[in-house]
């Protein structure tokens, strides 16, 4: 491919490569009878189709999920970079142009617009495991309610509660306030992740620029990807060790705990109404059990100590008796007849 | 000249090879059975609540006169010290003649949420040390504390110096406020009371998520992209899966112990600043007058070497030895270099007069 190629020629080359990709992919998955799709289909789609064909949700293991998820992101990035390389548009392009191509690779079709140009936030969202997914779903459930609250100017959140249901109203006000505080903290956290993503591309450009000398140029997609990972971690490390991040991280954690706590109180109230055992009751039982266990252990050890003390006292008494028995022959008192007899016999 | 010299055809071939390996290997991955772990035979010596004290059994009788008790962290499972036959600190120590015991903390549930550091250190560890000493008819034993277990071992040795012959601290945080300690940095703005009061015990998933976010791209994406390279190697895959098992097989954390660990160690940095109390006992590191071996990993992202090194400035012993290992927090147990260097260094040091 030469520099003098027209856009039309470049398109042809790229389409040929795309077709080659899908034909090879189709050959590799022949057993699954996959038909090659339109050559312009994003490459990671192939992984998704294939995963659906082979995927058995009942047997899907976590490692396979993580592997596929990482592979999708990787292949998408590779397609973006290869597209740039195939056109030869960037053969002598500076690091910035390659960095832009890499950035484009993260913005996969169909992704949440909020995550655009923010691969770090996307990464963190993808990471959420069972412990956090539930909480996210809960947040989504409350989102319309909060949107309505925000629409009404939030004034009602601070309105004094009164009447028969005042306790309930106050509780819901607190819960809504906690959710809003949490959303605000998460937004500030995501803003820092965006900053981290932007910084990662700056560092990536610097790292690329350092490879522009002959003999140091990058000739493999994997090496390119690894270089971006180094840049991303470096950028994230800078942000994550900043004072601002420390504050925001603490705010997110604390705000989430306040939301959880409000929800727990509500669940507890419902539990009491339905005559179900509650978390507080269980805590109380566990605390008593723990205190009893400690007391019992102390008593057992105290018992062991008493036994040891008794044994030591007994041994001391025996030693004292033996000492007394040895001391007697040299005492000032007249020798006992038996001892005198023994002395005579020597 | 630009930084990239990508031949489109070669790059396409590289991507296709990646896809082909993935296609062939992912099916195999789904069909692989769960991996086993733990290479060395062991016998149960003592049990209390969910804790079990084990003694490892080597192929020959131990030659060491004084036994060594391993105190592992609460946040992961202790089988990392004996993961598999060719990756086992325990196995190597036994082969060198050491007599090795280990505390397995088990998996705390909500009935354990009120366990405090007092229970762990003045209770469980003290009783395990006493059990081992009594079995061997010695007044002092060797203690090998790892990571958080190392911090516990420092507390124990400071409170009960008369029970410890020699102390080994391995990847142990001592100064929690060094500027490169990301984990500590993040915990400083947390309301530990609100956290524990809300969660009770701290779920393992939450802990693991926190660890992964220390290096999110490397640990959540690059690692699995790299996995494609070994998908067709059964042994390598088993090693990988065994490690995955260990990483995510984490116990929940007993709430009260977690609360104190965050407040006094991570936030208060009391191990070096002073004022630390475990139950009614004060911890003064100057009471550590027995010989100390401090082993840390130079590329440790969980416990940076800067957090471990200050130990020498705060303890009372003049018999202090340091071993800087070229590797990370996990590599120090499982890498080939670790197998060659770490057990022999420990054995040699323990054998010193």
Token pair recorded at residue B336: 């080939």
Which residues face B325 on adjacent strands?
B297
Q: How confident is the model at residue A168 (pLDDT cuts 50, 70, 90)?
A: confident
Q: Which residues contact A294 (CB under 8 A, 6 or more apart)?
A: B119, B123
Cβ proximity of B295 and B168 under 8 Å: yes
DSSP-H helix ranges across B141-279: 148-159, 182-187, 192-199, 204-212, 216-217, 223-227, 234-248, 255-260, 270-273
Helix, strand, or coil (residue B20): helix
Q: So what's the pLDDT on residue A127?
A: 66
Q: Which of A51-60, A197-206, B163-172 has the highest mean pLDDT?
A: B163-172
Chain B environment of A48 (Cβ under 8 Å): none
Mean pLDDT rounded to a whole number for chain A: 77
The separation between CA A307 and the C-alpha centre of its own chain, rounded to angstroms, equals 51
Instruction: Look up the ipTM and state it.
Output: 0.91
Q: What's the rounded Cα separation, in Å, for the pair A321 and A343?
A: 22
Token pair recorded at residue B190: 């947390």
A66/B2 Cβ within 8 A: no
Chain B environment of A85 (Cβ under 8 Å): 4, 6-8, 11
Torsion angle, alpha carbons of A61, A62, A64, A65, to 10: 120
Q: So what's the pLDDT on residue A343?
A: 43
Sequential pLDDT tens for chain B (353 residues): 778 887 878 888 888 888 878 877 777 777 777 788 888 999 999 999 999 999 999 999 999 999 999 999 999 999 999 999 999 999 999 999 999 999 999 999 999 999 999 999 999 999 999 999 999 999 999 999 999 999 999 999 999 999 999 999 999 999 999 999 999 999 999 999 999 999 999 999 999 999 999 999 999 889 988 888 888 888 888 899 899 899 999 999 999 999 999 999 999 999 999 999 999 999 999 999 999 999 999 999 999 999 999 999 999 999 999 999 999 999 998 899 999 999 999 999 999 97
Quick one: what percent of chain A has pLDDT higher than 90? 27
A294-310 residues labelled b (16+ CB within 10 A) or e (exposed): beeeeeeeeeeeeeeee
Residues 14-53 of A with CB under 8 A from B: 17, 20-21, 24-25, 28-29, 43, 46-47, 50-51
Q: What's the rounded Cα separation, in Å, for the pair B172 and B309?
A: 9
Residue A246 has pLDDT above 80, yes or no: yes
Instruction: Indicate the length of chain B as a whole number.
Output: 353
A222/B209 Cβ within 8 A: no
Q: How confident is the model at residue A214 (pLDDT cuts 50, 70, 90)?
A: confident
CA distance A154 to chain B (A): 25
Token pair recorded at residue A249: 């991280």
Q: Has B147 been annotated as catalytic? A: yes
B206/A131 Cβ within 8 A: yes
Query: If you compute the radius of gyration of chain A from its CA atoms, what whole number of angstroms results?
Result: 38
CA angle B349, B147, B74 (to 5 degrees): 130
* Nearest-by-CA chain A residue for B212: A127
Domains and CATH numbers, chain B: 42-351 (3.40.50.1820)
Across the interface, of B11, B26, B182, the residue whose CB is closest to A241 is B182
Whole-structure pTM over 0.90, yes or no? no
Phi, psi for residue A92 in degrees, rounded to 5: -110, 20
A280 near B CB under 8 A: no
Across the interface, of A50, A224, A229, the residue whose CB is closest to B23 is A50
A289/B218 Cβ within 8 A: no
Q: So what's the pLDDT on residue A29?
A: 62
Q: A103 or B267, which is more confident?
A: B267
A261/B197 Cβ within 8 A: yes
pLDDT digits (tens, 9 = 90+) for A13-53: 767 777 777 777 677 666 555 566 666 677 766 666 666 65
Q: How confident is the model at residue A82 (pLDDT cuts 50, 70, 90)?
A: confident
Q: How confident is the model at residue A342 (pLDDT cuts 50, 70, 90)?
A: very low
- For tokens 């590599």, what's the residue? B331
Residue A116 has pLDDT above 80, yes or no: no
Residues 98-127 of A with CB under 8 A from B: 98, 120, 123-124, 126-127
CA angle A21, A26, A29 (to 5 degrees): 125
Residues 132-161 of A with CB under 8 A from B: 132
Q: What's the rounded Cα separation, in Å, for the pair A346 and B180?
A: 84
Under DSSP, the state recorded for A59 is T
């Amino acid at each position: 491919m030469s520099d003098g190629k027209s856009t039309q020629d470049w398109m042809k080359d790229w389409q040929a490569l795309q077709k080659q990709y899908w034909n090879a992919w189709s050959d590799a998955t022949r057993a699954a009878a996959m038909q090659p799709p339109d050559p312009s289909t994003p490459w990671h789609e192939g992984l998704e189709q294939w995963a659906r064909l082979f995927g058995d949700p009942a047997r899907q293991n976590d490692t396979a999920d993580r592997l596929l998820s990482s592979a999708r992101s990787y292949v998408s990035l590779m397609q973006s970079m290869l597209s740039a390389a195939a056109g030869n548009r960037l053969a002598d392009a500076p690091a910035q142009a390659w960095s832009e191509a890499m950035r484009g690779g993260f913005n996969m079709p169909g992704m949440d617009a909020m995550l655009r140009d923010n691969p770090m936030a996307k990464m963190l969202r993808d990471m959420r495991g069972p412990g956090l997914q539930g909480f996210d779903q809960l947040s989504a459930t409350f989102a319309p309610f909060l949107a309505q609250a925000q629409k009404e100017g939030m004034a009602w959140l601070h309105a004094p509660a009164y009447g028969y249901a005042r306790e309930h109203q106050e509780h819901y006000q607190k819960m809504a306030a906690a959710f809003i505080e949490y959303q605000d903290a998460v937004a500030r956290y995501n803003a820092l992740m965006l900053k981290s993503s932007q910084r990662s591309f700056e560092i990536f450009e610097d790292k690329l620029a350092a490879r522009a000398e002959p003999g140091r140029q990058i000739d493999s997609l994997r090496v390119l990807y690894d270089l971006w990972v180094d840049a991303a971690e470096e950028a994230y490390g800078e942000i994550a060790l900043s004072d601002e991040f420390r504050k925001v991280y603490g705010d997110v954690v604390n705000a989430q705990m306040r939301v959880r706590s409000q929800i727990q109180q509500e669940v507890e109230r419902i539990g009491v109404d339905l005559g179900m055992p509650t978390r507080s009751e269980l805590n109380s039982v566990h605390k008593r059990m723990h205190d009893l266990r400690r007391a019992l252990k102390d008593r057992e050890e105290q018992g062991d100590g008493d036994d040891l003390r008794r044994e030591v006292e007994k041994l001391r008494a025996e030693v004292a008796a033996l000492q007394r028995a040895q001391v007697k022959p040299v005492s000032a008192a007249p020798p006992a007849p038996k001892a005198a007899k023994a002395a005579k016999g020597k | 000249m630009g930084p990239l010299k990508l031949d489109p055809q070669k790059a396409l071939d590289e991507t296709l090879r990646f896809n082909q390996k993935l296609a062939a290997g992912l099916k195999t991955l789904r069909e692989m059975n769960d991996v086993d772990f733990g290479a060395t035979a062991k016998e149960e010596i003592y049990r209390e609540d969910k804790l079990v004290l084990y003694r490892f059994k080597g192929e020959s009788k131990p030659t060491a006169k004084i036994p060594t008790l391993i105190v592992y962290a609460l946040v992961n499972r202790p089988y990392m010290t004996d993961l598999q036959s060719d990756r086992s600190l325990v196995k190597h120590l036994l082969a060198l003649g050491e007599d090795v015991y280990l505390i397995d903390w088990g998996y705390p549930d909500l009935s354990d949420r009120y366990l405090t550091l007092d229970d762990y250190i003045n209770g469980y560890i003290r009783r395990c040390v006493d059990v081992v000493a009594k079995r061997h008819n010695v007044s002092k034993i060797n203690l090998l504390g790892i990571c958080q277990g190392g911090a516990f071992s420092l507390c124990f040795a400071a409170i009960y110096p008369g029970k410890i012959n020699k102390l080994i601290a391995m990847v142990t945080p001592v100064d929690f406020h060094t500027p490169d300690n990301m984990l500590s940095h993040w915990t400083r703005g947390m309301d530990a009371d609100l956290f524990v009061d809300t969660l009770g015990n701290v779920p393992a998933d939450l802990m693991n998520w926190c660890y992964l976010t220390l290096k999110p791209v490397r640990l959540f994406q690059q690692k699995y992209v790299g996995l494609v390279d070994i998908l067709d190697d059964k042994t390598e895959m088993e090693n990988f899966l065994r490690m995955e098992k260990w990483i995510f097989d984490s116990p929940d954390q007993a709430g009260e112990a977690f609360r104190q660990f965050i407040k006094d160690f991570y936030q208060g940095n009391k191990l070096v600043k002073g004022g630390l109390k475990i139950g009614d006992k004060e911890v003064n590191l100057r009471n550590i007058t027995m010989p100390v071996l401090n082993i840390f990993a130079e590329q440790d992202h969980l416990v940076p070497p800067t957090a471990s090194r200050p130990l020498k400035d705060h303890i009372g012993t003049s018999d202090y030895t340091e071993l800087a290992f070229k590797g990370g927090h996990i590599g120090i147990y499982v890498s080939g270099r670790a197998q060659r260097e770490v057990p022999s260094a420990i054995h040699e040091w323990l054998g010193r007069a």
